[in-house]
Structure 1
């Protein structure tokens, strides 16, 4: 009986360690290496979200997309395009300047209808004109 309890505790601990390691160190996507599923302008995608959030979420949420627009603000590792697309980078990119036309690729993580902003993470520069 004692061996069964010890074995059960070890199995549970093993699953716990693997689960912890998977969540913190593995299983992540590398969006920069993926092909963009959609390529849109910032104005087009915001118009879609303003028209129908649920339909747009079904189409774009958790997908890698390329968005074209003009950089309106830069905050360390975050770039805002046309005051509506908020792109979070893993590392700051000093090659991007305010007022510059860019195409950024990232994963759509949500739309804030109160602020009328689309949130992207794991962003990378596809083209900076």
Structure 2
């Protein structure tokens, strides 16, 4: 009887440890990883115009590198807008050299396309030098 109880306790602890390590695994470091896709804002817009659901499946939660011109910088929300189409949220403070009308290459995790305001959302963004 004691052997069965011991085996049961060990099995429960093993399952609990497996669930814990699966749920709390390290997050992907977007800034250090390679981009899955490199494109322009116009190219991204065209893909979503052609087939919204296919493009969402292709880009969602992927690392995307986008080239464009900064149209808005908001230090309070740690975000920038590129070509009036891409809203990019930074985890850390914004680089000090960001200014409107400056061309940049931005890398981040693609979240979604908001078709109501026709804007792409990205987070964990960083500027590629």
Partner of 1:55: 54
- Larger Rg: 1 or 2? 2
**Structure-2 change in CA distance of 1:22 and 1:48 (3 Å):** same
Q: Secondary structure at the match of 1:74?
A: strand
Q: 5+ unaligned residues in a row in structure 2: which ranges?
A: 1-7
- What TM-score comes out, normalization by structure 1 length? 0.77
Partner of 1:105: 107
RMSD after superposition: 2.4
Structure 2 CA distance for aligned equivalents of residues 24 and 87 of structure 1: 25
Partner of 2:81: 80
How many pairs align?
126
- What TM-score comes out, normalization by structure 2 length? 0.77
Q: Secondary structure at the match of 1:31?
A: coil
Please identify runs of 4+ aligned residues in structure 1 that moved more than 4 A.
15-25
Structure 2 CA distance for aligned equivalents of residues 31 and 84 of structure 1: 21
Q: 5+ unaligned residues in a row in structure 1: which ranges?
A: 1-7
